[in-house]
Amino acid sequence: MVAEEVNVNMDINQIAQMAGVSRATVSRYLNDGYVSQEKRAAIRRVIEKTGYVPSRQAKSLRTGKTNVVGVIIPKINSASVSRMIAGITMVLNEAGYQVILANTDNDASREVEFLRLFAEKSQVDGVILIATVITPEHREAISALPVPIVVLGQETDCCACVYQDDYNAMHDLASIALRDVHHPAYIGVFEDDVAVGQMRRKGFLAACAEAGIEVPERAMRIADFTVDSGYEQAEALLENYPELDVIVCATDSIAYGALTCLREYGHVVPDEVAVTGMDDSEISQIVTPTLTTVHLHYKTSGAETARMLVGFMTGEESVPRKVKMSCEVVARNSTR
Amino acid sequence: MVAEEVNVNMDINQIAQMAGVSRATVSRYLNDGYVSQEKRAAIRRVIEKTGYVPSRQAKSLRTGKTNVVGVIIPKINSASVSRMIAGITMVLNEAGYQVILANTDNDASREVEFLRLFAEKSQVDGVILIATVITPEHREAISALPVPIVVLGQETDCCACVYQDDYNAMHDLASIALRDVHHPAYIGVFEDDVAVGQMRRKGFLAACAEAGIEVPERAMRIADFTVDSGYEQAEALLENYPELDVIVCATDSIAYGALTCLREYGHVVPDEVAVTGMDDSEISQIVTPTLTTVHLHYKTSGAETARMLVGFMTGEESVPRKVKMSCEVVARNSTR
DNA sequence: ATTCCATATGGGAACGATTTCATATGATAG
DNA sequence: CTATCATATGAAATCGTTCCCATATGGAAT
């Protein structure tokens, strides 16, 4: 009815006509080019009246920029990943980018698939890869990428990255956990994951060496990232290494499983067996006993990753190529 | 060097030329139009050799379709929301859509903002709104939307929706929790959230009424969705309603806070005070004692929502407009 | 007085697809 | 024998921007 009515099907030509200028001038108005005060005012009036919004796809077609960032994640319903995404979306939306999500469900080959998909015809202006492993296929796909990428969660030389200080985190935690202890056990994850699998394990072993403790093979076990798997491996430890007096776990989830197992087998934590995790998931303050762990700044690391990527995409000078996050050991009641 | 080299800057004209056909024929090849066997083969060869991929933005510009779905969420690092998103992305990627994420950080006004943003110039082909509240502004923005939308998490008549059976879930759970109990307390959430705030509360009160129990005002409290808030409200209950023998909580998170509080105040769960939650978050099997709760099919509800939306977007007949999810009470050790 | 530069504006060619229209051929139905 | 239809193809218009050029004006520098 009214002229105020918002018409979605308005284009730059109509705006130009209504404002009495050329379409080039409207485009300049939209992109901060030379436009006189009078025309500027006239165009603003028309745009406000009509509710005109420029077409993203036309703009993308012409400029080759999409204002979209692709985020590849192994699994969305994981505490650490969702915290990272929270940080990523916060920064990226703030900077005017849209975030498209590619969930691979822990399938590394689909990660490569998505990398290639994003590479094609510049679907996105940049990529964030929350990585668990980096295979040669990953490297290849990454170097073929025509847009900037930042890897989150693993240290790598094949591109920019933001990662946790897994070695020191575990080293410092283990140093504390090893006090008054003689038979430590460790439940880690598969070594393909360099950060969580290798670095944390090395940190643990280094702390043991410093404490003058030799760790037998049967005290070292491998779980996956689940609670159930933590339970199973703890059970196996009780069987094969009954003298253990602390179980150091690579993640909080594994530690929850270990706690549950110890409870069911009637061992008192921490008096008989201490337990530690890593991640400081929200639940760690809730389980019984509360879990000694390391707080990793996941949300902040996501934000930092996004900031770096924005830096690359906007061609900023002096964007760091590697960021190692800090962390804090949180001593609670599952250790002595 | 080699002709096999993938050239990203290939367009439909070059393909047409190399295959000795017109660009219209290539387009028909890509979109299942009439193309003879010979030309079809020729085009396929050229496309394989060059690694040509059609430009999404050009296609979008011409067709007005984006193959993108916008998902508006209140908070990503929440167990229930991330499970929903897992289901949504699974189905949508399968159907060839990309998912863009709009995180509002529990700010309902930003939800409306995103709805409007998506409405503009068909940025997306469809919208999923994971809703906590639906205000008149929401309704207005929803009805102004030029693309289909499905609301997840709340029942509404303003558009299609998928929601949990909050009333019966809480009713059935409470009925069990009220056995041999005389002084039940309830910690809910603010009533603006119809599903979690109102329906669950009503379900609880109905179960009490059926059990012939009258619940005094001071036994009813309001928390937000956090563990800490659950702790505080449980503390307030112990103060104002010391005779309580069960705390029914609107969510698992609140229940974790209540459990922690009861433990710190030296009350034995469930012998002195029972506790129930709702959601069946992963942790509910881990806390001590394990939590009696209701399993809601969040991931499935996300998948179902996505399927409905795809139905609307592809113009399918007979897509349901309302889906109420089922649920199962899970009795564990926090109740008698 | 001439040159140069910042400001200001419009015309028209891209960007890379889809889609309409016109046209052609061979088979089949009447 | 012709009308109709399914199959097959290409030329050209179109989607809605940006951006390169050409052009113009007024002031500052030489």
Residues A187 and A287 in one domain: yes
Residues A150 and A172 in one domain: no
Provide the CA A32 to C1' C14 distance, Å, integer. Answer: 21
By C-alpha distance, the chain B residue nearest A98 is B100
| CA distance to A32, A110, B67, per residue, from B62 (Å) | 27, 30, 13
Residues B172 and B289 in one domain: yes
> Cα-flanking dihedrals φ and ψ of residue A182, to 5°?
-125, -20
Q: Is the pLDDT of residue B3 over 60?
A: no
> Cα-flanking dihedrals φ and ψ of residue B10, to 5°?
-95, 140
Mean pLDDT within B204-221:
97
Amino acid (one-letter) located at A282: E
What mean pLDDT, rounded, does chain A reach?
Answer: 94
Residues A76 and A155 in one domain: yes
Provide the CA A68 to C1' C27 distance, Å, integer. Answer: 52
Q: Is the pLDDT of residue B110 over 60?
A: yes
Residues B285 and B317 in one domain: no
Contacts of A259 in chain B (CB under 8 A): 286
Which residue has its C-alpha nearest to nucleotide D12's C1'? B24
Mean pLDDT within A6-11:
69
3-state helix, strand, coil in chain A (%, to 5): 45, 15, 35
Whole-number pLDDT of residue A6: 47
pLDDT single digits (tens) A73-94: 999 989 999 999 999 999 999 9
A157 lies in some domain: yes
Contacts of A77 in chain B (CB under 8 A): 79, 82-83, 85-86, 299
Residues A213 and A272 in one domain: yes
Residue B28: CB less than 7 A from any atom in strand C: yes
Q: Is the pLDDT of residue B6 over 50?
A: no
B333 lies in some domain: no
**Residue B212's CATH number:** 3.40.50.2300
A316 lies in some domain: yes
Whole-number pLDDT of residue A4: 36
B6 lies in some domain: no
Partner B, chain A 44-83, Cβ-Cβ below 8 Å: 53-58, 60-61, 66, 68, 75-79, 82-83
Q: Does A119 touch chain B (CB under 8 A)?
A: yes
B330 lies in some domain: no
Q: Is the pLDDT of residue B314 over 50?
A: yes
Q: Is the pLDDT of residue B8 over 70?
A: no
A1 lies in some domain: no
Asked which of B20, B35, B63 is the last residue of a domain, the reply is B63
pLDDT single digits (tens) A137-185: 999 999 989 999 999 999 999 999 999 999 999 999 999 999 999 999 9
Residue with tokens 């934590």: A269
pTM of the model: 0.92
Mean pLDDT within B113-135:
90
- Chain C nucleotides near the protein (CB, 7 A): 7-12, 14-20
pLDDT band at A2, cuts 50/70/90? Answer: very low
Flag if A53 and B121 touch (Cβ within 8 Å): yes
**Structural domain tally of chain B?**
3
Residues B53 and B152 in one domain: no
Residues B172 and B286 in one domain: yes
What value does the CA radius of gyration of chain B take, rounded to a whole number of Å? Answer: 26
Residues B16 and B96 in one domain: no
A interface test, pick of B5, B10, B76 with most A CB neighbours within 10 Å:
B76
pLDDT single digits (tens) B59-96: 999 999 999 999 999 999 899 999 999 999 999 999 99
**Residue A21's CATH number:** 1.10.260.40
Provide the CA A28 to C1' D18 distance, Å, integer. Answer: 9
By C-alpha distance, the chain B residue nearest A110 is B93
Provide the CA A101 to C1' C20 distance, Å, integer. Answer: 37
Residues A272 and A183 in one domain: yes
Whole-number pLDDT of residue B7: 52
Whole-number pLDDT of residue B117: 86
Q: Does A287 touch chain B (CB under 8 A)?
A: yes
Residues B287 and B176 in one domain: yes
pLDDT band at B2, cuts 50/70/90? Answer: very low
Q: For residue A167, how many C-alpha atoms fall within 13 Å in the half-sphere facing its CB? A: 8
Flag if B100 and A99 touch (Cβ within 8 Å): yes
Higher pLDDT, B322 or B318: B322
Q: Is the pLDDT of residue A3 over 50?
A: no
pLDDT band at A7, cuts 50/70/90? Answer: low
Residues B155 and B303 in one domain: yes
A31 lies in some domain: yes
B104 lies in some domain: yes
Expressed as residue numbers, the domain containing B245 is: 166-296
Contacts of B77 in chain A (CB under 8 A): 79, 82-83, 85-86, 299
Coil, helix or strand at residue A23:
helix
* Closest partner CB to B101 (pick from A77, A79, A89): A89
Q: Does B89 touch chain A (CB under 8 A)?
A: yes
The 3-class SS string of B237-300 reads HHHHCCCCCEEEECCHHHHHHHHHHHHHCCCCCCCCCEEECCECCHHHHCCCCCCEEEEECHHH
Q: Does A102 touch chain B (CB under 8 A)?
A: yes
pLDDT band at B4, cuts 50/70/90? Answer: very low
Contacts of A78 in chain B (CB under 8 A): 82
pLDDT single digits (tens) A218-270: 999 999 999 999 999 999 999 999 999 999 999 999 999 999 999 999 999 99
Coil, helix or strand at residue B55:
coil
Q: Does A123 touch chain B (CB under 8 A)?
A: yes
Whole-number pLDDT of residue A1: 34
